[in-house]
Amino acid sequence: MPRLLNADCHIHSEHSDGADGVFQMVEAGAKAGLDVMVMTDHLTLPYELDPTSDVSIPVAQLPFYRADVLAMDHLSRSKGGPEVLLGFECDWYPGCEGNIERWTVGAKVLLGSVHWVSGEGSEGWMDDDRDLHVWEELGADEVWRLYVDAWCRACESPANFDVMAHPDLARRFEAEGHAATIDLAPLYDRMAECAHDLGKRVELSTAGLRKPFHDYYPALALLERFRRAEVPITIGSDAHVAGDVAFGLADARRHAYEVGYRSQQVPHADGSWEECLLVEE
Ligand SMILES: [Zn+2]
Ligand SMILES: [Zn+2]
């Protein structure tokens, strides 16, 4: 009989761009009644993308991140708290695979993300609210097209991401003057086809509920397509502060159930993935 587990599969700490330590995040997870939490700090990036390690773990700090997560898992379990898994949120960029293999030793979960778009005459982070130059220079329609191209290449990547995080991150500024004007249906169809054909899981993220557009990633129409394509889901808060750990997870499970999903997949430290109930049936 499948179990209902409370799992947050996307959490950041101060090892990358989060505000709080792993200890605080785990303490918050225990308080929220989590059974499983996956620490997914941003994997180290090459110098050209993050010269001052603003958003990612500096390479020299990787062993400390690993040791910190393992120690907090041990401490948490000794107190009957959540299982804490070592993971990374990995940016996909052309040629990332060697770096990902080198830098993710010991990880149980790799999230695949596209945050960087590269177009004709402009490139940069697409989710940085202090710098919207790619949106202004390329326009939302072109950012969407480039994003979906990169997303499908990330699905195909030999880095073999376990889960594609916040699948339609290109929604990020849609309530702030950067909404697509093209019909997104063909792009959604392509994403569902890529995820299905390449055997990817996708994330249902509650992070968008804390942004001005106030909705899940992915949008309902895209989540429905993933469901029809039988693409499995994980659920994550993308917390960067302790107060956001487990944010909106119970509502997200109900939301997925209403869309027609009957399970979420939950990873464990032994490398297995458990098919878990979304609601008590
Ligand atoms: Zn992300
Ligand atoms: Zn994240």
Q: How far is the CA of 1 from the centre of ligand 2 (A)?
A: 32
* Number of domain units in the chain: 1
Cα(211) to ligand 2 centroid in Å equals: 14
pLDDT of residue 106: 96
Ligand nearest to the CA of 166: 1
The pLDDT assigned to 77 comes to 97
Give the tens place of pLDDT for each residue, 94-151.
Answer: 999 999 999 999 999 999 999 999 999 999 999 999 999 999 999 999 999 999 999 9
In a domain, 42, yes or no: yes
In a domain, 160, yes or no: yes
Which residues lie closer than 8 Å to 169 by C-beta, 6 or more apart? Answer: 113, 114, 115, 126, 127, 147, 217
Measure 110 CA to ligand 1 centroid, in angstroms: 12
Residue 62's pLDDT is what? 98
Q: What gap in Å lies between CA 258 and CA 149, rounded to an integer?
A: 29
Q: Domain of 71: which CATH number?
A: 3.20.20.140
How many Å lie between the centroid of ligand 1 and the Cα of residue 78? 31
CA of 181 to the centre of ligand 1 (A): 24
pLDDT per residue as tens digits for the range 47-102: 999 999 889 999 999 999 999 999 999 999 999 999 999 999 999 999 999 999 99
Q: How far apart are CA 68 and CA 20, in angstroms?
A: 13
Domain assignment present for residue 179? The answer is: yes
51 found inside a domain: yes
- Alpha helices per DSSP H over 166-248: 185-197, 220-228
Q: What confidence tens digit (pLDDT) does each residue in 27-49 have? A: 999 999 999 999 999 999 999 99
User: Which residues constitute the domain of residue 124?
Assistant: 7-277
> Which numbered ligand comes closest to the C-alpha of 17?
2
13 Cα–ligand 2 center, Å: 10
How many whole angstroms from 120 Cα to the centroid of ligand 2? 27
User: Is residue 2, in this structure, part of any structural domain at all?
Assistant: no
Predicted confidence at residue 54, as pLDDT, reads 87
Q: Which-ligand-closest: CA of 88?
A: 2
pLDDT band at 256 (very low <50, low <70, confident <90, very high): very high
Distance 111 CA to ligand 1 centre (A): 9
Cα–Cα distance for residue pair 130/110, rounded to 1 Å: 27
Residue 270 burial (10 A CB sphere; 0-12, 13-18, 19+): exposed
270, two tokens:
């032994």
pLDDT score, position 1: 84
Cα–ligand 2 centroid distance for 281 (angstroms): 31
Q: What is the pLDDT of residue 258?
A: 98
Centre of ligand 2 from the C-alpha of residue 56, in Å: 11
Q: Is residue 204 part of a domain?
A: yes
Any domain includes 1: no
In a domain, residue 82? The reply is: yes
| Residue-wise pLDDT tens digits, 157-213 | 999 999 999 999 999 999 999 999 999 999 999 999 999 999 999 999 999 999 999
Question: Quick check: 241 and 24 in contact, CB under 8 A?
Answer: no
The whole-model pTM stands at 0.97
Q: At what angle do helices 185-197 and 220-228 cross, to 10 degrees?
A: 40
Q: If you measure from the C-alpha of residue 228 to the centroid of ligand 2, how many angstroms do you get, rounded to a whole number? A: 26
Please give the pLDDT value at position 281. 80
Tell how far the Cα of 238 is from the centroid of ligand 2, in angstroms.
5
Q: What's the rounded Cα separation, in Å, for the pair 159 and 153?
A: 11
